């Protein structure tokens, strides 16, 4: 059997200790040898036998002294060489005794033949051989040495005696010798196998205990009578005990009573644990959870075994339970403010009206914070988040009956409350709006914050959360459009307006898809020649039911719906086609929105239209407002640069009304500036307006840009622009409102100054 190095050293120590452990047996053997030798002396009266008795005594005393020294030596950590030396010392003592015994046989049989002496000597040899095997089998070296020491003299004696029978007896000693060696070897192997088996069993048990007590889970093994047969340290600690030994051998009922007596579990918790464990041990459940009094969460898993009982594994799942609780909270509550989120609010509000009395009022407020984006841009999102928390705290402290507050989005809060009457509801709304509007002190910053709110009020019998929320949203839209009020209560006309707008949205989508919107054109006139040089394409929508819809209404609607690029594509295609029908005698100008400028596909749309209708690129002009340029200047500049590089003219529309006019003139690929009508509204009466207008025109010319002035409505304005301002082109009702492409054809060869008088009488004479 294979053993480790340290195991081998321990077995050698055991073997040597076994040799020295027979002190009393050695003494008795010596006494028998001395008495037997003395008996031979009395029979033969030969003094040599007294010498043998004395020799046995001396050898025995020496061996006894050596055994005493061995007992006193500390050999726990002795090396193999040290143990081997002690084995040799034992062997030398035993060999000395065997040598005396062999000499006794030689003298008794060969030198002084005597039947009694011979028989006595042989009996002593036989007894010594038996003792040799039973006492010294642990050491092959000792057994071999002593066997030779005893049997060799006897064998030599028989040979010296001569004769066939004596020689035959000498030969028979050899099998006896090997038999002793074999028996000793078998005994030694049996002993060592037993020792190693015990040691390995102890090691397995130790490893099992280490593994059992090193488990992160608790383990309890129950037999068929629900008595604990195996327990580990983790299970003991979980049950409130100090060691597994306190659990083993106890029944479940006894264990739980003991846990109760130690006050580790309160009565209600203990009863719950008892029920759960009984279900697991009976097989009615295989898994269950338990929360301990110290808020630890445990999961019990039972593995039944019909023959050996049930193994119960107890795992601490507190982290998992906490994580699941956190995930559940995140799914139901806003992480920033701790308020219920949309789904949790809907779940709670579903039963809001269940216990309310008939006639009670329920109000739902949808509240938006004013200027949150400005706060984030100015102070950073950290301050913005703190601002949101402060707003939620203030909103949660307002006095209202049965308030239910939620945060739905970035700056949107929803508040549900009740009241006895409509008047009380309105008073509560006013009190809430007053409380949440004002200065918030956030991280050392005083931030002026307002809010807008839409309110929906119903009686308890008409409570419908989804309908109320939709109505409150409609009221909020109204409040945002009314600068005089910061909140509005839903009335039925708002729903009508909303439904009309939804109808308009659907019709606009259909009209753009089917291309039924038309394009009108307003002339752009060279003020010096009074001839039309270009016209601006303007989208028009003649609704089949509502009549003409103002561009100020449907253009923002198209942007909101994401249809503005489709609308622009239709206008570009129609304008380029009409330009070809005018024989390319005048240019056409088309407005691009901010969405168009951020879409690189706009360039290919324009190039495709020009190629399809065979129009030179310089006959098309795109107009962009300063507001459309501020969203993404890099993309906008790239799109305009591609268009200008292709030959398309680029104009800044409504110049002077934006934020950074001069930087646009410097950095963007612009050919023309169109000055907004606000600059000439009072040009004839107010001298400063004229000076400002002249300065803008002069600056534009210095930059190599042509100038168009919009909004001319009187001949006096035209006269001043022509004589004092110096702009190249003008546009306005003075020269005609937006008109059809066929009407533009009629003006191609007309000198516009011939129509000024008639046009002043009515600005829409050419429409």
- pLDDT tens track for 733-753: 888 889 999 999 988 888 776
What gap in Å lies between CA 344 and CA 730, rounded to an integer?
Answer: 61
Strands laid side by side in the 218-222 sheet: 228-231, 218-222, 309-316, 297-305, 287-291
Q: Which two tokens stand for residue 632?
A: 């993404």
CA dihedral sign, ordered 433, 434, 436, 437: positive
What gap in Å lies between CA 15 and CA 139, rounded to an integer?
Answer: 7
Exposure b/e, 160-175, CB count within 10 A at least 16 = b:
eeeeeeeeebbeeeee
Contact indicator for 596, 564 with CB cutoff of 8 Å? yes
C-alpha distances in Å from residue 352, one per residue of 295, 398, 407: 32, 19, 18
What gap in Å lies between CA 37 and CA 46, rounded to an integer?
Answer: 11
Backbone torsions φ then ψ of 489, nearest 5 degrees: -100, 135
What gap in Å lies between CA 594 and CA 586, rounded to an integer?
Answer: 26
Contact indicator for 201, 7 with CB cutoff of 8 Å? no
- Per cent of the chain over pLDDT 90 is 16
Average pLDDT score over residue span 391-418: 88
pLDDT of 608 strictly over 90: yes
Round to the nearest angstrom and report the end-to-end CA distance of the chain. 116
When computed from its CA atoms, the radius of gyration of the chain, rounded to whole angstroms, is 57
pLDDT of 7 strictly over 50: no
What gap in Å lies between CA 570 and CA 552, rounded to an integer?
Answer: 18
The pLDDT of residue 264 is 65
Q: Model confidence over 193-238: pLDDT tens digits?
A: 655 656 665 565 565 566 566 666 777 888 877 788 888 887 777 7
Average pLDDT score over residue span 547-573: 89
Which of 357, 364, 349, 609 shows the shortest CA–CA distance to 470? 364
pLDDT of 1 strictly over 80: no
pLDDT of 512 strictly over 80: yes
Q: Which H or E run includes 558? A: helix 551-561
C-alpha distances in Å from residue 160, one per residue of 49, 102, 140, 157, 167: 21, 14, 30, 5, 9
Which of 379, 56, 470, 78 shows the shortest CA–CA distance to 388? 379
E strand segments, 619-753: 620-625, 649-655, 672-675, 706-710, 729-731
What gap in Å lies between CA 453 and CA 435, rounded to an integer?
Answer: 13
Contact indicator for 314, 234 with CB cutoff of 8 Å? yes
Q: Model confidence over 464-505: pLDDT tens digits?
A: 988 899 889 888 888 888 777 889 998 887 767 677 777 888
Average pLDDT score over residue span 576-580: 94
Paired strand residues for 218: 314
pTM summary value: 0.48
User: Going by C-beta distance under 8 Å and a sequence separation of 6 or more, which residues neighbour residue 618?
Assistant: 587, 647, 648, 649
What gap in Å lies between CA 227 and CA 239, rounded to an integer?
Answer: 15
The pLDDT of residue 764 is 36
Q: Model confidence over 125-151: pLDDT tens digits?
A: 666 665 555 556 555 666 666 666 666
Q: What is the 3-state secondary structure (H, E, C) of 726-742?
A: CCCEEECCCCCCCECHH
What gap in Å lies between CA 767 and CA 750, rounded to an integer?
Answer: 15
């Amino acid at each position: 059997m294979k053993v480790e190095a340290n195991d081998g050293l321990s077995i050698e120590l055991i073997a040597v200790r076994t040799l020295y452990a027979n002190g009393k047996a050695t003494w008795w053997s010596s006494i028998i040898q001395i008495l037997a030798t003395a008996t031979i002396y009395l029979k033969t009266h030969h003094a040599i036998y007294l010498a043998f008795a004395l020799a046995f005594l001396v050898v025995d005393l020496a061996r006894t002294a050596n055994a005493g020294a061995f007992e006193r030596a500390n050999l726990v950590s002795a090396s193999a060489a040290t143990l081997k030396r002690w084995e040799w010392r034992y062997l030398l003592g035993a060999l000395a005794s065997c040598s005396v015994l062999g000499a006794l046989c030689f003298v008794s049989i060969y030198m002084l033949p005597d039947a009694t002496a011979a028989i006595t000597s042989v009996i002593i040899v036989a007894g010594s051989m038996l003792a040799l095997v039973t006492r010294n089998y642990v050491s092959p070296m000792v057994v071999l040495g002593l066997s030779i020491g005893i049997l060799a003299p006897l064998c030599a004696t028989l040979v010296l005696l001569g004769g066939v029978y004596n020689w035959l007896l000498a030969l028979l000693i050899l099998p006896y010798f090997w038999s002793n060696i074999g028996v000793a070897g078998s005994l030694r192997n049996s002993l060592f196998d037993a020792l190693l088996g015990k040691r390995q069993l102890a090691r397995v048990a130790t490893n099992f205990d280490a593994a059992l007590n090193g488990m992160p889970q608790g383990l309890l093994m129950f037999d068929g009578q629900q008595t604990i047969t195996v327990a580990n340290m983790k299970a003991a600690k979980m049950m409130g005990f100090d060691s597994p030994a306190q659990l083993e051998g106890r029944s479940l009922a006894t264990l739980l009573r003991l846990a109760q007596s130690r006050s580790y579990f309160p009565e209600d918790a203990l009863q719950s644990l008892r029920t759960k464990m009984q279900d697991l041990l009976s097989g009615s459940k295989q898994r269950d959870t338990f929360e301990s009094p110290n808020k630890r969460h445990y999961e019990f898993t039972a593995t039944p075994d019909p023959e050996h009982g049930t193994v119960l594994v107890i795992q601490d799942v507190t982290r998992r339970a906490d994580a699941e609780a956190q995930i559940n909270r995140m799914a139901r509550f806003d992480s920033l403010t701790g308020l219920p989120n949309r789904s949790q609010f809907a779940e709670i509000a579903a039963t809001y009206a269940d216990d309310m009395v008939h006639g009670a009022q329920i109000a739902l407020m949808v509240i938006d914070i004013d200027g949150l984006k400005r706060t984030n841009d100015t102070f950073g999102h950290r301050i913005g988040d703190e601002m949101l928390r402060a707003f939620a705290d203030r909103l949660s402290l307002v006095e209202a009956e049965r308030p239910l507050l939620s945060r739905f989005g970035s700056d949107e809060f929803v508040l549900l409350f009740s009241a006895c009457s409509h008047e009380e509801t309105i008073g509560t709304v006013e009190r809430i709006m007053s409380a949440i509007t004002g200065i918030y002190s956030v991280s050392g910053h005083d931030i002026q914050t307002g809010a807008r709110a839409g309110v929906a009020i119903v009686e308890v019998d008409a409570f419908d959360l989804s309908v109320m929320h939709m109505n409150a949203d409609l009221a909020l839209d109204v409040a945002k459009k009314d600068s005089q009020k910061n909140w509005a209560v839903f009335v039925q006309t708002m729903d009508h307006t909303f439904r009309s707008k939804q109808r308009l949205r659907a019709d606009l989508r259909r009209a753009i898809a089917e291309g039924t919107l038309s394009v009108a054109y307003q002339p752009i006139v060279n003020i010096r020649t009074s001839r039309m040089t270009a016209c601006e394409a303007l989208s028009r929508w003649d609704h089949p039911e509502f009549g003409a819809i103002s561009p100020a209404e449907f253009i923002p609607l198209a942007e909101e719906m994401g249809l503005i690029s489709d609308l622009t594509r239709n206008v570009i295609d129609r304008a380029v086609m009409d330009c070809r029908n005018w024989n390319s005698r005048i240019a056409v100008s088309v407005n691009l929105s901010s969405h168009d400028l951020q879409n690189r596909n706009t360039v290919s749309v324009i190039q495709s239209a020009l190629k399809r209708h065979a129009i030179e690129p310089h006959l098309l002009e795109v107009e962009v407002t300063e507001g459309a340029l501020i969203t993404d200047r890099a993309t906008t500049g790239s799109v305009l640069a591609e268009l200008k590089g292709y030959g398309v003219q680029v104009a800044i529309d409504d110049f002077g009304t934006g934020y950074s006019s001069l930087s646009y003139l410097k950095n963007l690929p612009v050919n023309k500036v169109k000055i907004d009508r606000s600059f000439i509204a009072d040009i004839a009466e107010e001298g400063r307006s004229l000076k400002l207008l002249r300065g803008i025109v002069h600056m534009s010319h210095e930059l190599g840009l042509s100038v168009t002035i919009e909004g001319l409505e009187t001949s006096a304005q035209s006269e001043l622009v022509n004589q004092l301002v110096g702009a190249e082109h003008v546009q306005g009702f003075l020269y005609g409102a937006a008109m059809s492409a066929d009407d533009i054809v009629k003006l191609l060869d007309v000198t516009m100054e011939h129509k000024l008088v008639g046009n002043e009488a009515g600005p829409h004479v050419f429409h």
